[in-house]
Amino acid sequence: MPDRSFAPTRILIYLAVFLIAAAWLAPLVVVVLNSLRTNEEIAQGSMIGWPQHLSWSNYAAAWSGFCVAETCAGIRPYMLNSALVTIPATIFSTLLGAIAGYAVSLWRFRGDNWIYGIVTLGLFLPQQMRLLPWTIVLRDIGLINTLTGLVLIHTIQGLSFTTLFCRNYYVAIPHELIRAARIDGAGFFRIFWRIILPLSGPILIVTVIWQFTHIWNEFLYGVTFTTGQQQPVTAALIALSAAVADIPQHGVQSAAVIIAALPTLLIYLLGGKYFVRGLTAGAVK
Amino acid sequence: MAALSIRALSKRYANLEVLKDIALDIESGEFTVLVGPSGCGKSTLLNIVAGLDRPSAGTIEIGGRVVNDVAPKDRDIAMVFQSYALYPSMTVRQNITFGMECRHVPKAEQDAAVGHVAKLLQIEPLLGRKPSQLSGGQRQRVAMGRALVRNPLLFLFDEPLSNLDAKLRVEMRMEIKRLHQRIGATIVYVTHDQIEAMTMATRIAVMHQGSVQQFADPDTVYRYPANLFVARFMGSPPMNTMPARLEAENDGPVVVIGAGRPDELRLRLRGYDAAAPFVGRKVVFGIRPECIAEGSRTFSSEAPVLVEAPVELVEPTGAETMVLLRLGGEPAMARVSPDIRPAPGTSAAFALDTRRICLFDPETERLIA
């Protein structure tokens, strides 16, 4: 095999890849570096600079000491809020999406394609368009400014995606499995529970990762429907920048941003390989 | 008792009629094969019998009970699928007991039933494995085990052997036939393979374009195909068919192939009284390849009918030699002894078994005699 590692085109390709990656990662690098510098150090120098000595105090302050919207408990309570919204909404939307995807892909009934079409139409509606309807719904059922309200929104909004993912996965499952089970005497839910769900590992991982990152990172609903102590961390981060408007606290802000991003980062690191594998996984043999 | 009665059954999808006025009566203990080319409606018919699809019209009776509105699980049937449809996440044992689990059969009874079926099919060592750990033949066996354990009134097989390689297919074919002889079950078996139909069935229903062309025992279907479709579908290679004329001579009807040509072929027919109305008209002449053999062959005590025919192609298969020749200018396949190799481009003498000629009406394509 000829050694082509020093071919000019190769070098060009690597150079381009390196530049793109550097541009992509630059903001992250700045944030990470700033989170490790003291406020004085940033104030004396510039926003961009190497930490003179590593300081972890920003993280401690961001986590539990800093004042956000007149409460001085850091972002910890808001992280908890985000978890209380994200975890149930991820579980509910994934399970309901799996059942819906199973129903529209493996059971024929009148109007099945219409129902699937309408559910997935939700993917194409801009988020802003749904704000007003949700406001009315949440007001009428008394869930404005509650975490339960956000769980409801994310569960229902998530259904479009989870149904699409699961349906496209289940379509590859041979219909003969369902027929055999029907002759064996199993009903809709027994077939789902005993036959379909055990085959669903890859797609459930994909759906859970997708839903978790999207709901955790979601900002618009959080900032619109909750205030003060009820806000998820993404909304609270904005309140944090507002609170430090007079004296910039870039170090603490950077640390808070990194803490807020950690859960999705961890999910990706733990499940990323399944995610890629699941997206490309084909039929169940 | 009729195990299965299908009456005036039809199935329509929008404007497409996939089954037309099907009527079949299947006796208890029969091995019925539904055979036909793909798209003929045989699998749809089986699915309707199973209750997985609904007919547009007509009734289905299983064991004397109309089951049109009965759910598949309550029809007292078991089905073996082409893909085997084994539940991938369950062990072989769980696959076999799943139906009993759904019907809340006591555990001890389940174990006894699994033991019995596993012994019958010799799959005892496989009970703890998953389907992905089984070979094709083993999966096939497990799929049959799942059906057998139910001990139903009616077994439905949907092309169960078509995913197996040729050698295994022949083995499983014999095994299914042996199983039928042993347990005397009523089986409806769908296949597109006419050899499976001929070798296993006690009765064959040949289907084409949504209707049953002929429903009879294998010998009758082979010897007296009801129409040209059946004649050309059953048998490999199929029956030779060619246009001909029927003429009258002093001592009975004569079929003429290639009339007016120098190599015109005239064959005297004996015992074809039903053909009398067609004297002086066009017919379709049919003869099976094995009824054309080398000139030295005798088919019966009578002297054979010998013809001199040009040879176009020779295909030795080892067990026999297939010869493409021309009868009165029309191409025909002959099945001769393996050691006979007439040279292509020359003429050779062939013996014809004229007792087994079939004549068809060229308009209706039905068998005349």
At B221, is the pLDDT very low, low, confident or very high (cuts 50, 70, 90)?
A: very high
Question: What pLDDT sits at residue A280?
Answer: 56
- Which residues on A lie below 8 Å from B151 (Cβ)? none
- Which residues on B lie below 8 Å from A185 (Cβ)? 73, 99, 102-103
Superfamily of domain A76-280: MetI-like (1.10.3720.10)
HSE-CB for B210 with a 13 A CA cutoff: 13
pLDDT at position A40 over 80: no
DSSP A71: B
Quick: pLDDT tens for A145-183.
888 999 999 999 999 999 999 998 999 888 889 999 999
Whole-number Å distance between alpha carbons of A198 and A180 = 17
Do B73 and A195 lie within an 8 Å CB cutoff? no
Do B79 and A183 lie within an 8 Å CB cutoff? yes
Report the SS3 class of residue A68.
strand
Do B50 and A179 lie within an 8 Å CB cutoff? yes
Question: Which among A174, A176, A184 has the least Cβ separation from residue B102?
Answer: A184
Query: Which residue from A minimizes the CA distance to B51?
Result: A183
pLDDT at position B172 over 90: no
Query: Which residue from A minimizes the CA distance to B48?
Result: A179
Selected residue of B13, B46, B73 to mutate for chain A interface (largest A Cβ count, 10 A): B73
**Mean local confidence (pLDDT), A125-146:** 88
Do the beta carbons of residue A119 and residue A159 sit within 8 Å?
yes
Whole-number Å distance between alpha carbons of A62 and A240 = 10
Do A179 and B83 lie within an 8 Å CB cutoff? no
Q: What percent of chain B has pLDDT over 90?
A: 65
Question: Which among B82, B88, B103 has the least Cβ separation from residue A185?
Answer: B103
Q: Which residues pair with B208 in a beta bridge?
A: B211
Do B99 and A198 lie within an 8 Å CB cutoff? no
Q: How are strands ordered across the β-sheet holding B305-316?
A: B292-294, B347-352, B305-316, B321-327, B330-336
Q: Which residues pair with B64 in a beta bridge?
A: none
pLDDT at position A277 over 80: no
For the ranges A124-128, A156-160, A189-193, B344-348, which has the lowest average pLDDT?
A124-128
A residues 181..200 contacting B (CB < 8 A): 181-186, 190, 194-195, 198-199
Quick: pLDDT tens for B119-164.
888 888 999 999 988 888 889 889 989 998 988 899 999 998 888 8
Do A179 and B89 lie within an 8 Å CB cutoff? no
**Mean local confidence (pLDDT), B169-188:** 89
Average per-residue pLDDT for chain B: 91
Question: What pLDDT sits at residue A227?
Answer: 82
Question: What pLDDT sits at residue A14?
Answer: 92
Do A183 and B50 lie within an 8 Å CB cutoff? yes
Which of residues B344 and A271 earns the better pLDDT score?
A: B344
Whether A10 and chain B come into contact, CB under 8 Å, resolves to no
At A282, is the pLDDT very low, low, confident or very high (cuts 50, 70, 90)?
A: very low
Q: What are the structural domain ranges in chain B?
A: 2-233, 240-360
CATH of B240-360, one of 3.40.50.150, 2.40.50.140, 1.10.10.10, 3.30.750.24: 2.40.50.140
At A12, is the pLDDT very low, low, confident or very high (cuts 50, 70, 90)?
A: very high
Whether B73 and chain A come into contact, CB under 8 Å, resolves to yes
Quick: pLDDT tens for B233-257.
999 899 999 999 999 888 788 999 9
Q: Measured in Å, how far apart are chain B's first and last C-alpha atoms?
A: 33
Selected residue of B83, B87, B110 to mutate for chain A interface (largest A Cβ count, 10 A): B87
Whether B201 and chain A come into contact, CB under 8 Å, resolves to no
- Which residues on A lie below 8 Å from B52 (Cβ)? 179, 182-183
Do B83 and A176 lie within an 8 Å CB cutoff? yes
Question: What pLDDT sits at residue A285?
Answer: 40
**Mean local confidence (pLDDT), B327-333:** 93
- Which residues on B lie below 8 Å from A181 (Cβ)? 87, 98
- Tracing tokens 């992509």 back to the chain, one arrives at A24
Dihedral angle over CA of A177, A178, A181, A186, nearest 10: 150
CA A39 to chain CA mean position, Å = 31
Stretch(es) of chain A classified as CATH 1.10.3720.10? 76-280
In this predicted complex, what is the ipTM? 0.80
pLDDT at position A211 over 70: yes
Do B98 and A179 lie within an 8 Å CB cutoff? no
What distance in Å separates residue B118's CA from the closest CA in chain A? Answer: 18
Q: What is the value of pTM for the model shown?
A: 0.81
For the ranges A47-56, A126-135, A242-251, B318-327, which has the lowest average pLDDT?
A242-251
Whether A108 and chain B come into contact, CB under 8 Å, resolves to no
Question: Which among A177, A185, A285 has the least Cβ separation from residue B99?
Answer: A185
pLDDT at position B64 over 50: yes
What distance in Å separates residue B211's CA from the closest CA in chain A? Answer: 25
Q: Which residues pair with B245 in a beta bridge?
A: B256, B282
Do A183 and B146 lie within an 8 Å CB cutoff? no
Whole-number Å distance between alpha carbons of B139 and B86 = 8
- Which residues on A lie below 8 Å from B102 (Cβ)? 184-186, 190
What distance in Å separates residue A106's CA from the closest CA in chain B? Answer: 13
Do A183 and B98 lie within an 8 Å CB cutoff? no
Whole-number Å distance between alpha carbons of A184 and B81 = 13
pLDDT at position A283 over 50: no
Superfamily of domain B2-233: P-loop containing nucleotide triphosphate hydrolases (3.40.50.300)
Whether B132 and chain A come into contact, CB under 8 Å, resolves to yes
Do A184 and B81 lie within an 8 Å CB cutoff? no
Question: What pLDDT sits at residue A75?
Answer: 82
Question: Which among B72, B78, B81 has the least Cβ separation from residue A176?
Answer: B81
Question: What pLDDT sits at residue B200?
Answer: 93
pLDDT at position B220 over 70: yes
Cα distances (Å, whole numbers) of residue A175 to A87, A169, A191, B93, B134:
33, 13, 12, 22, 21
Which of residues B204 and A58 earns the better pLDDT score?
A: B204
Question: What pLDDT sits at residue A120?
Answer: 86
What distance in Å separates residue A63's CA from the closest CA in chain B? Answer: 45
**Mean local confidence (pLDDT), A23-34:** 89
B residues 237..276 contacting A (CB < 8 A): none
Which candidate, B283, B290, B340, B333, places its Cα nearest to that of B309? B333
Average per-residue pLDDT for chain A: 84
Peptide bond into B237 cis (omega under 30): yes
Q: Measured in Å, how far apart are chain A's first and last C-alpha atoms?
A: 37
Q: What percent of chain A has pLDDT over 90?
A: 32
Cβ-Cβ pairs closer than 8 A, A with B, add up to 61
